[in-house]
Amino acid sequence: MKVLVIGGCGFIGSHVVDSLLSRNHEVRVFDRQPERFRPALAGVDYLFGDFADRMAMIEALTGVDAVMHLVSTTFPGTADLDPRTDVIDNLGGTLSLLDIMTNLKIPKIVFLSSGGTVYGVPDTVPMPESHPLRPINSYGIVKCAIEHYLAMYQRTRGVASVSIRASNPYGPRQGHSGVQGVISTFLNRAFSGEKVEIWGDGSVIRDYLHVTDLADLCVLALSSDKTGPYNAGSGVGTSINEIVEVIGSVTGVPLEPVYKAARSVDVQRSVLDVSKAKVDLGWSCKVSLRDGISDSYEWLKNWKSRQG
């Protein structure tokens, strides 16, 4: 199958590309810029452009059998700063994509949604896919609207879709600037001997998923005839304070957290029920938190040493 990976040079995208190649799919990548942490891969067709550029998207989509849509111009922590731009870029851009896919009769899309934001404040933990969608921040509102439109395009325009509601992915090649993920950010601080900052008291519970497990689920979903939403998480809740401990233990560098005021975007406890992906897609999470953090730290040390 020839697959277009939109956002294929990003953190998650680069692992999805690896997973597709390992299963002998043909891969075209569309992204704004080359991968940051490794050179271009042999055998991958790279196209660079803007997600909002309709003609560039038409060119990228021509001749492909399926689409992995992994692009977001915003992060959960940044989208609230300018919701209108979040809507125009990400929701508007996705609707352009779906219109082009309809015209070109491309029958399948896997969309990277957000298990951490589409549900809002949970009624039950862990949350199944049937939990009501009550997003409380712009990132989640846009993901939720995109999921609704995917269902509509599937019903009325013949574009089958799976939404992967990812929890908190982490792993090699994640950015560590502070907006992408707490594990990569903290590992970077540990490496540099800096203090870490924690919003709140560190009791906030999240569901951390190694990026290779997430990438495998995306590829399984693309090849399956199943449609609709699938949670993607470990199914296990871990507090920020536990992350701090594991990182201290793995790196041998005990972190010294500085506790700051809690953020309004954070719900207290978010853990996903992933039994639907296990049953329907035969997927399971293979990398333990400790192994995954160790693996991420090895990558970080290598990267830093190559940077000199």
Given the rule CB under 8 A, which residues bind its own copies? 80, 83-84, 87-88, 91-92, 95-96, 99, 132-138, 141-142, 144-145, 148-149, 151-152, 155-156, 264
Closer residue to its own copies in complex, CB, 87/253: 87
The minimum distance between CB 93 and its own copies, in angstroms, equals 9
What's the CA gap between 198 and 263, in Å, rounded? 10
The minimum distance between CB 296 and its own copies, in angstroms, equals 32
For residues 191 and 140, is the Cβ–Cβ distance under 8 A?
A: no
Q: Is 259 designated active site?
A: no
Closer residue to its own copies in complex, CB, 228/248: 228
For residues 207 and 270, is the Cβ–Cβ distance under 8 A?
A: yes
Closer residue to its own copies in complex, CB, 1/95: 95
The minimum distance between CB 270 and its own copies, in angstroms, equals 17
The minimum distance between CB 31 and its own copies, in angstroms, equals 22
For residues 292 and 250, is the Cβ–Cβ distance under 8 A?
A: no
Closer residue to its own copies in complex, CB, 134/278: 134
Closer residue to its own copies in complex, CB, 148/260: 148
**Beta-bridge mates of residue 196:** 257
**Beta-bridge mates of residue 31:** 48
The minimum distance between CB 266 and its own copies, in angstroms, equals 13
Site of tokens 């870490």: 196
What's the CA gap between 86 and 229, in Å, rounded? 22
The minimum distance between CB 98 and its own copies, in angstroms, equals 8
Q: How far is CA 42 from the centre of its chain?
A: 24
Residue type for position 132: P
Closer residue to its own copies in complex, CB, 14/138: 138
Strands 45-48 and 26-31: parallel
Burial of 26-56, coded b for 16+ CB within 10 Å and e otherwise, reads bbbbbbeeebeeeeeeeebeeeeeebeeeee
For residues 30 and 60, is the Cβ–Cβ distance under 8 A?
A: yes
What's the CA gap between 206 and 203, in Å, rounded? 10
CA dihedral (136, 115, 130, 204) positive or negative:
negative
Token couple for 183: 């594990």
Token couple for 101: 């896919």
The residue among 82, 180, 188, 192 whose CA lies nearest residue 137 is 82
Instruction: Tell me the HSE value of 151 on the side-chain side, using a 13 A CA sphere.
Output: 7
List the catalytic residue out of 119, 139, 153, 297. Answer: 139
| Residues carrying an active site annotation | 139
